[in-house]
Amino acid sequence: MTRWLRHHRYALQVALRRLRLHPFSSLANIVVIALMLAVPILGAAVLQSSQPLAKELAVAPELTLFLAPGTSADQQQALLKRLQDQASDHIADARLLPRDQAMTQLRADPAWAQALDALADNPLPDALIVTLKDSEAPAQQARALADAWRQWPGVDHVQLDSEWVRRLESLLSFVRVGLGLLAIAVIVVVLATVFNTVRLQALTLREEIAVARLVGATESFVRRPFLYLGALTGLAASLLALLLAWLTMTPLNALLGRFAQSYGISWSLHLPAASDLLLSGILIILLGAIAARLSVTRHTQF
């Protein structure tokens, strides 16, 4: 065990020395990886920080069921009860809007009052206003319910107000796909950068590696410092990316604060949870070590 620890301590010291021997190239590699890592960190921060705001500003999708002319009050109540019984898992609220009440609400709007005065009678139908619960696919769910309710007797027309829902779903899908592509890009950048760095160092140290083999150094002994080099590069890049993301949030929060105050709300960006950041950092360190392992296996066969 002592010998194993001594070998790893020696490999770590060699990796640190090689980083110091090439400070500019090492720093450039770390900065490139850190910049790529900072973008998804900021993206995750925006998503997580926007969830309370989205709940505060959320507008539940509504469907309006216009009833056929001549539908009696008992039939209206029966339709309302049927809605509440059969779709209780999807409905947050359902209420009856009589035609007289709808006309009163329209007359209260100055934009409609003069036009409505010209009408001889009330042309509005009775209606049922249905508010849906939140779901993962609200637009799809609303369309399915609207198609089913159109077939009910007594329902003349169903108006579906889900355009904003479709836009919201498209935006969320775009953000998810964008973060996924960013994550793939980060993985590629880490692998490519560390792979190329280790390749150049292995070619530069080819004579030293050859001499080490002549005196009995094993392949593990030769390759271990390069693995530490990749892992240290990933660690340094993760810490720098976290610092860059934190520094970027300071001016962003100042701008968002003024924007949110104009709408009477509170909104600021926060870094993702510490556990998520820790797992991400460990993943980057492992990717750095894997890239170094692939590169050193390929480019130390002299």
Do 132 and 197 have their domain in common? no
Do 219 and 104 have their domain in common? no
Do 172 and 51 have their domain in common? yes
Q: Could you tell me the pLDDT band of residue 137, with boundaries at 50, 70 and 90? A: low
CATH number of residue 144's parent domain: 3.30.70.3040
pLDDT for the residue 143: 80
Enclosing H/E stretch for 236: helix 219-262
Q: Could you tell me the pLDDT band of residue 77, with boundaries at 50, 70 and 90? A: confident
C-alpha distances in Å from residue 227, one per residue of 202, 219, 224 = 12, 12, 5
For residues 177-185, give the mean pLDDT. Answer: 80
Question: pLDDT tens-digit profile of 31-64?
Answer: 888 888 888 888 888 777 766 555 555 456 778 8
Q: 263 is in which domain, residue-wise?
A: 2-56+167-299
202 near 296, Cβ under 8 Å? yes
Q: Could you tell me the pLDDT band of residue 302, with boundaries at 50, 70 and 90? A: very low
pLDDT for the residue 295: 80
Q: Could you tell me the pLDDT band of residue 166, with boundaries at 50, 70 and 90? A: low
Structure tokens of 97? 């809007």
Mean pLDDT of the chain: 78
Rounded to whole angstroms, the Cα distance separating 224 from 16 reads: 12
Residue after which a domain boundary falls, among 108, 136, 161: 161
Do 210 and 183 have their domain in common? yes
Q: For residue 236, how far is the Cα from the chain centroid?
A: 25
Quick check: 113 pLDDT over 80? no
Question: pLDDT tens-digit profile of 189-248?
Answer: 888 888 887 777 777 766 666 666 667 666 777 778 888 888 888 899 999 999 998 998
